[in-house]
Structure 1
Amino acid sequence: MGAPGVDGLGDVVRVLRQWQYDAGPVQLHPGDVGWFWRFGAQRTAAATRTWSRAGKVLAVGLLDGAELLRLAFAPQALRDEELARQVVEDVSAPERGVLFEGRAYVEAPTGALVQDLLLKDGWASGEPWTPLRCDLGGPVSDPGVRVEVIGPEQAHEWAAVLRASFDGSTFTDERWRAMAAGAPYVDARCLVVRNERGEAVAAVTVWSAGEGRLGLIEPMGVHRAHRGHGYGRAVTFAAARALQQLGSSSVVVCTPSSNVGAVATYRSAGLEQLPERRDLYRNAS
């Protein structure tokens, strides 16, 4: 296990791009790293872990907060026993600096051997999440609203919509600028939907992993004062169109299954609901 440092983050993002394909499992995406980059390159590097063999990266982890490790694996390494045992050893030993002592969570792709080994090691299944996906090989519906791509001059508007979409959000335009300066943002777009009065009412960021690869929505929000007017559906259509223009083969998003409104919104925009997935967790000792 290693930490790439700021200079190595670009290589990590390139590796993650290569692992995103339509037939593969939903897993840590370069866009997830890009969204975390809102905290700056130094914190992103400090939160990133890699597992390698013979100089080749086979797994990448992102410490998304103090308690959650999100994982991705190279396609050929999903069931690699040596690798899985090493990851389990590293995440189960607090002194290795991956997860702290006490309650902790691991998000691993469906079918990864590391899930089986963690369950055998006493970890338990957590709350369900719902992935949703839509193929972008055909036409995507027109959002039917005014959509703008956001640049630095409109960052404050995008940030304001996001704050008004999520309780407790402290997102700022400075964080937007930090995110936009990150390596993954080369293949990303931030969009806002405006109502008939020109007010920004919904916001989304889309992350492409490159031509012919799986694209990600993270995050998407509708201003709490403008809900119930179809803006969530409209901004999802806008996100799918933007990813299609960036060359993505499909779009994926993952939301807590308990957020039935979000699941319904994505389904109304044509995304197919995939089987639920669950994080694994261990309780405080």
Structure 2
Amino acid sequence: MTIRMTTPDARALTDVIGALRVWQTEASPIQLHPGDVGWNVRFGEAETAAALRVWSGDAGILAVGLLDGADLVRLTTAPELRTDARLAGRLADDLDGILPEGTAAVEAPQDAVLHDVLGARGWRRGEAWTPLRRDLAEPVQPVALRVETIGPELAAARAEVHRAAFPNSTFTAQRWGMMAAGAAYADARCLLGLDAQGTPVAAITVWSAGPGRPGLIEPMGVHPDHRGHRYGTEITVAGAAALRELGSSSAVVATPSANVGGVATYLAAGFEAQAERYDRTRPLPAR
């Protein structure tokens, strides 16, 4: 099998998103999702394409990696290739060229043999994450929080909540517009929660991978001035309801295990915690 690694252009984003959609199944662990790519499109389609690495063979796309910052690659493969040692070796070789020298990290599905290959090369177990899942076979209960579906008229309010919830964020209404114009957003919803006075207090974006496949929460945030009122739980439940309407079989999310409050919010919203997963971290060379 000939394996080629390429950096796609913006025109190829639809193909990459299509492959990621097909790879999402209830039998697979949480992995790189089309919603992860769709959320990145807030920076622009050309910028997102430049952050992608695609490994292809004669049968099509074999693996996809998304550079999330300078020193992290979020990577997945076709499910039937998770145990392919040849592909895992090629991915490990290429990661050394993709990532900068020194400390770096790789996020990959926990059932991928890539973890073993990287471990044999000195990559250590890195940050612990808690995956959570809510089954959507049954209707989702309504919430008391007023919830609006975000369009251009509410984009600024949604961006303001996000920047407050994530202080280092540069999200703006303009970037929401770029995200919403992307191919992945055709199967997504952005929701804004408002309190009894009409003040925006929470927001969530959810991404379907198509009917019968797991949908992703990326991201969810509560304005820090309005925490402690269950708004995070209620906007998460509303997001799960939106995914069910889009045909998703489940709602999934992963948050750092150290984020105890975040894990508690998802549990309160009817999610079940799965076995912890870990990044792989390349340490600095010993002096």
TM class by shorter chain equals over 0.9
1:207 aligns with 2:211: no
Q: Name the counterpart of 1:171.
A: 171
Q: Report matched runs for 1:246-265 at 5 Å.
A: 246-265=246-265
* Shift of residue 26, structure 1, vs aligned partner: 0.7
- The whole-number CA distance in structure 2 between the counterparts of 1:112 and 1:208 is 23
- The whole-number CA distance in structure 2 between the counterparts of 1:215 and 1:276 is 19
Q: Report matched runs for 1:106-145 at 5 Å.
A: 106-145=106-145
C-alpha distance after superposition, 1:208-250 (max 9, x if no partner): 0000001000000000000000101100110000000000000
1:71 aligns with 2:75: yes
- The whole-number CA distance in structure 2 between the counterparts of 1:85 and 1:196 is 55
- The whole-number CA distance in structure 1 between the counterparts of 2:6 and 2:284 is 26
User: Which of 82, 87, 91 matches 2:86?
Assistant: 82
Task: Report runs of 4+ in structure 1 exceeding 4 Å deviation.
Answer: none
- The whole-number CA distance in structure 2 between the counterparts of 1:87 and 1:168 is 31
Q: Name the counterpart of 2:198.
A: 198
SS in 2 for 1:101: coil
* Shift of residue 171, structure 1, vs aligned partner: 1.4
* Shift of residue 167, structure 1, vs aligned partner: 2.4
Q: Name the counterpart of 1:17.
A: 21
* Shift of residue 55, structure 1, vs aligned partner: 4.1
- The whole-number CA distance in structure 1 between the counterparts of 2:180 and 2:156 is 13
C-alpha distance after superposition, 1:238-279 (max 9, x if no partner): 000000000000000010101100000000011000011111
User: Which of 35, 38, 46 matches 2:39?
Assistant: 35
- The whole-number CA distance in structure 2 between the counterparts of 1:73 and 1:136 is 25
- The whole-number CA distance in structure 2 between the counterparts of 1:89 and 1:207 is 32
Q: Which amino acid aligns with 2:118?
A: L
1:243 aligns with 2:247: no
Q: Which amino acid aligns with 2:24?
A: Q
1:58 aligns with 2:62: yes
Q: CA RMSD in A?
A: 0.9
- The whole-number CA distance in structure 2 between the counterparts of 1:233 and 1:63 is 30
1:232 aligns with 2:222: no
Unaligned runs of 5+ in 2: none
SS in 2 for 1:164: helix
* Shift of residue 181, structure 1, vs aligned partner: 1.3
Q: Which amino acid aligns with 1:173?
A: A
SS in 1 for 2:242: helix
- The whole-number CA distance in structure 2 between the counterparts of 1:197 and 1:56 is 52
Identity across the alignment (%) = 56
* Shift of residue 183, structure 1, vs aligned partner: 0.9
Unaligned runs of 5+ in 1: none
Q: Which amino acid aligns with 1:184?
A: A
- The whole-number CA distance in structure 2 between the counterparts of 1:103 and 1:177 is 34
- The whole-number CA distance in structure 1 between the counterparts of 2:63 and 2:29 is 14
- The whole-number CA distance in structure 2 between the counterparts of 1:119 and 1:180 is 39
1:276 aligns with 2:269: no
Q: Name the counterpart of 1:147.
A: 147
* Shift of residue 155, structure 1, vs aligned partner: 0.4
SS in 1 for 2:165: coil
- The whole-number CA distance in structure 2 between the counterparts of 1:183 and 1:104 is 30
* Shift of residue 281, structure 1, vs aligned partner: 0.8
